[in-house]
Amino acid sequence: DTGVSQDPRHKITKRGQNVTFRCDPISEHNRLYWYRQTLGQGPEFLTYFQNEAQLEKSRLLSDRFSAERPKGSFSTLEIQRTEQGDSAMYLCASSLDGKGGAETQYFGPGTRLLVL
C-alpha cells in the first residue's frame, strides 16, 4: 500500500512529557500537512511543508510544537511538555502541488494522543 502512513496510531502519555509523531507521505508528493482534530470537530490546520521548507504555521501551533521534514520525505511533529488540552487526533496529509492551486490531499489514519 502506498498511502500516507502515521506512527504511532495511539499514544498515551503523562502531562509534561514530550511526544513525537511520524508521518510518511505518498512518495511523489511534495506537500505535507499536519492537522489536529478533536471530537465532533473538523480537522484544524497546524502547518505545512513544500519539500523540506515549512511554509506556514497556524497560530494554534504554540512554541511547544515543532515540525520538521528534513529531507523532503517523512515528517515529524513533536509536542514538548504536553498538556491535557493537547489530547486530540493528529492527522497528516500529503499532496502533489497541482496546476491552478487546486489539489487533493490524501490523509493518513491519524495518531490519537491522550494526555493524562
Partner 1 sequence: SQKIEQNSEALNIQEGKTATLTCNYTNYSPAYLQWYRQDPGRGPVFLLLIRENEKEKRKERLKVTFDTTLKQSLFHITASQPADSATYLCALGSNTGKLIFGQGTTLQVKP
CB 82 within 8 A of CB 16: yes
Q: What's the N-to-C CA distance of the chain in angstroms? A: 34
> Binding residue for partner 1 (CB under 8 A) from 1, 27, 42, 63?
42
Which region holds residue 33: left if phi is over 0, alpha if psi is between -120 and 50, else beta? beta
> Binding residue for partner 1 (CB under 8 A) from 11, 19, 21, 31?
31
Strands 53-57 and 65-68: unpaired
* Residue 106 binding partner 1, by CB under 8 A: yes
- Shortest distance in whole angstroms from residue 43 CB to partner 1: 5
Residues that bind partner 1 (CB under 8 A): 4, 31, 33, 35, 40-45, 48, 55-56, 91, 93, 95, 97, 100-110, 112
